[in-house]
A and B are shown apart, each in its own frame.
Chain A
Amino acid sequence: MSFEKHILICGGTGCLSSNSAEIAESMKAALKEKGLEKKVQVVLTGCFGFCEKGPIVKIMPENTFYVEVKASDAAQIVEEDIIKGNKIEKLLYIDPKTNKTVHEGEKMEFYQKQQRIALRNCGMIDPECIEEAIGANVYMALGKALHEMTPETVVNEIKLSGLRGRGGGGFPTGMKWGFAAKNHADQKYVVCNADEGDPGAFMDRSILEGDPHSIVEAMAICGYAIGASIGLVYIRAEYPLAIKRLEGAIHSAREHGLLGKKILGSKFSFDIEIKYGAGAFVCGEETALIHSMEGDRGEPTSKPPFPAEAGFWGKPTNVNNVETFANIGAILLKGGEWFKKIGTEKSSGTKVFALAGKINNVGLVEVPMGTTLREVIFEIGGGIKNGKKFKAVQTGGPSGGCLTEADLDTPIDFDNLILKGSMMGSGGMIVLDEDNCMPAIAKFYLEFTVDESCGKCTPCRVGNKRLYEILEKVTSGKATMEDLTTLRTLGETIKDTSLCGLGQTAPNPILSTVTKFWDEYVAHIKDKKCPAGVCTALLQYTISPEKCIGCTACARVCPTKAIEGKVKEKHIIIQEKCIKCGACMSACKFGAITRG
């Protein structure tokens, strides 16, 4: 196949939501009209990472990077760029710092400090085409393992690399494989944890959508290393695109003899089955996940026994996260030594983060461990949206904590983040600005964990509910200073006494915000004020009589008819009726309405 040019269009969930599939169709039609369909290939790839300005279209080999493309731009792209070789200025990305357009993706600040290992093929290949994956060296590591390495040397190579689990725990992967390899049984299992429970994180799904073959390959390698012939992927049913691409990848791998009996002419047989999750955060926890795969309620059981001894149907089972698996092929091809040199001493390699919240460049980023939070947020992320002030960054999802201005120069790795009172988690990174209220954020996370607690053990089921009730008192101005003490002591008790990781980490968002944003909690309690202007119970909307001209705009938009006043007369808000939705404030053209 000899295409002269390739038009790569992002087909990740984010960009597909803004109609990137339609762009691909229009592009194909425009090429056909010009008789170019044999010279220029249109590919719907996985996520490029720069979700903020999606849909993204890349022209290769020039690497021209177009942002916020619409289907109606297709004809112009073909006419101007593909045929005449001119860049289309209005579709190029404008660097907000220099106000100049950037022509090539690589030159964007967003990509400069990134290093892509786990995401190496995302956005580069057509994930639905096994030939493209093979062309990008996927399955080469499997060939190498089967023909040139013994199971022991595979495990040793992973040990050497220093790879630690990316699902949150950070347990050394090589060691885990070693345990499973040592336990003898008639049947062993390899499980890929694609439950991705952290709300606001989308790393694992993006990998599965953009490069499913690398996961299939890595699971087979793991099967060879530990002596398992069956692989299972536990994936959220809410991820239809990832499921479809993974199913497709498994199917074509079978057709190509890369899964099934006697793979690549060796004695090794391996196949993969998909198991669907059904929306329960606790099922990300490995013992709960195994029970769920057995068709039961996903309730955790205490460890030991670890899955490596007694997992799925009581057999030795190795559970790894999607991103952990995504690193395996690269490690085997380039060597554990190579991987070990990237990142920090105790956390080698890179980490993928789903950067979101009040940040200019929402997206998927992969940086070497040791990169600082400041680099990720202010360089790659392009700083805070709308020129607002940075307040905190939340890492580790519902199990993690908040980091502040003072922590920005911390090099990111497993141990440093724990030292600073948060954790790596699976890679969600939510940036907060001055308009976010920390007690409200803590309440948001706690509502999630209360909702998701499986209810098996009391500290988590009852204790977290009590914590949530106290936070409700805080955000409605009814709490006392004693309540703050209770938040801390009860939080610590829940951490110490819960059965599984969910309960053991649930109080973290509270404990970290109480410590770091003590004054904000006190303001809610003593002054009955929410400094960020979020907690509705503590807010009051008022109309300034000096500024009101009686245009009636506010009274017309108020959903509860809480505003009284005749045309050209001063209006007033009846506080008892006000539901504090803020509609009047947005409607007033004279800045007469204040919130405080």
Chain B
Amino acid sequence: MACNNCKGNATQKELFDKLGAFIDALPTKEGALITVLHKAQGIFGYLPREVQEYIACKLEISLAKVFGVVTFYTYFTMTPKGKYPISVCMGTACYVRGSEAVLEDFKRELGIGVGETSADGMFSIDALRCVGACGLAPVVLVGEKVYGKDAAKKVKEIIAEYKKLG
């Protein structure tokens, strides 16, 4: 399908093509928006305006509708995550075992808030709700790596570990 509104710079063209191919292969476009957004976030890492415009155009729905759905769900993000995304579990089990203090420490040490990314693009902080490892509470995830119990409380050490990796 021709799509005049769909821009995207040259380096990103491949990514858009990949998303386009996924959409074209869907059995039906009806009700597919969330499925497409999942795929798009998997491809681009986040959902900037250009990607939302592209999706609106391809699915033949309004940009407002796409934006409305993106902002409704916390899983979808419009800002790129850091190279090392830090997620602090704020589920109840972690909260009662002190995860709030851990989150505060990360915010202070990195000088950014929840949902923000550090200026150098290295770290971002998110608050999650229960990652299902409540036995290890409090739980911190850096990417896929899990820090639990006392290891999670050593905020400075965790940050230093990744700064060293660069």
Contact = CB atoms under 8 A, between A and B. Distances in A.
B38 A237 contact: yes
A441 B92 CA distance: 9
A17 interface: yes
Interface in B43-91: 68-69, 72-76, 90-91
A573 to B, nearest CB: 18
Nearest to B127: A451
Interface string B131-159: 11111110100000010100000000000
Contacts of B131: 13, 17, 238
Contact of B96 (A18, A53, A441, A581): A441
Contact of A200 (B93, B105, B108): B93
Contact of A52 (B69, B129, B132, B135): B135
Interface stretch (A22-30, A315-323, A351-359): A351-359
A199 B73 contact: no
B101 interface: yes
B132 A356 contact: no
Given A17-B146, A18-B148, A279-B75, A430 B132 contact: no
Given A51-B134, A278-B74, A430 B69 contact: no
Nearest to B93: A356
Contact of A278 (B76, B95, B96, B130): B76
Interface stretch (B1-9, B10-18, B27-35, B116-124): B27-35
Interface in A287-324: 292-298, 313
Contact of B137 (A18, A280, A356, A579): A356
Interface string A439-468: 001001100100000100000000000000
B104 interface: yes
Interface in A178-212: 198-202, 205-206
A444 B108 contact: no
A338 interface: no
B132 A239 contact: yes
B134 A200 contact: yes
Given A279-B73, A363-B135, A581-B105, A430 B31 contact: no
Given A17-B133, A239-B132, A432-B96, 17 more contacts: A13-B133, A18-B136, A18-B148, A198-B130, A200-B93, A201-B130, A237-B75, A278-B74, A279-B73, A279-B129, A281-B129, A295-B31, A297-B72, A356-B92, A357-B97, A362-B135, A444-B95
B37 A278 contact: yes
Nearest to A200: B92
A146 B104 CA distance: 56
Give the contact-size bracket for chain B: 35 or more
Contacts of A238: 75, 128, 131
Nearest to B71: A297
Given A441-B96, A454-B72, A362 B31 contact: no
A401 interface: no
A475 B60 CA distance: 49
A278 to B, nearest CB: 4
A239 B96 CA distance: 22
Interface of A: 12-14, 17-18, 51-54, 198-202, 205-206, 237-239, 275-281, 292-298, 313, 354, 356-358, 362-363, 394, 397, 428, 430, 432, 436, 441, 444-445, 448, 454, 559, 579, 581-582
Given A200-B92, A363-B135, A295 B38 contact: no
9 contacts: A13-B132, A198-B130, A200-B129, A238-B75, A279-B73, A295-B35, A297-B69, A356-B135, A581-B105
A357 B92 contact: yes
Contacts of B31: 293-296, 313
A202 B108 contact: no
B74 A362 contact: no
Contacts of A239: 132
Contacts of B97: 357-358
Contacts of A52: 135
A160 to B, nearest CB: 34
Given A199-B90, A356-B93, A280 B134 contact: no
A200 B96 CA distance: 10
Nearest to A432: B96
Contacts of A201: 130
Nearest to A206: B132
A294 B29 CA distance: 11
B29 to A, nearest CB: 9
A354 B130 CA distance: 11
A380 to B, nearest CB: 14
Nearest to A356: B93
Nearest to A281: B129
B92 A444 contact: yes
A199 B108 contact: no
Contact of A280 (B32, B74, B133): B74
Contact of B134 (A275, A297, A356, A444): A356
A276 B92 contact: no
A14 B132 contact: yes
B92 A278 contact: no
A430 B72 contact: no
B148 A17 contact: yes
B91 to A, nearest CB: 4
Given A14-B134, A18-B148, A278-B38, A430 B96 contact: yes
Contact of B74 (A54, A279, A293, A297): A279
A14 B139 CA distance: 10
The 5 A-B pairs at the shortest CB distance, nearest first, are namely A200-B92, A51-B135, A356-B93, A278-B73, A199-B129
Given A278-B73, A356-B92, A54 B33 contact: no
Nearest to B74: A279
A310 to B, nearest CB: 16
Residue among B30, B97, B129 with max Cβ neighbours from chain A (10 Å): B129
Contacts of A441: 96
A354 B34 CA distance: 30
Contacts of B69: 295-297
A295 B32 contact: yes
Contacts of B32: 295
Contacts of A276: 34-35, 38
Residue among A53, A292, A357, A444 with max Cβ neighbours from chain B (10 Å): A357
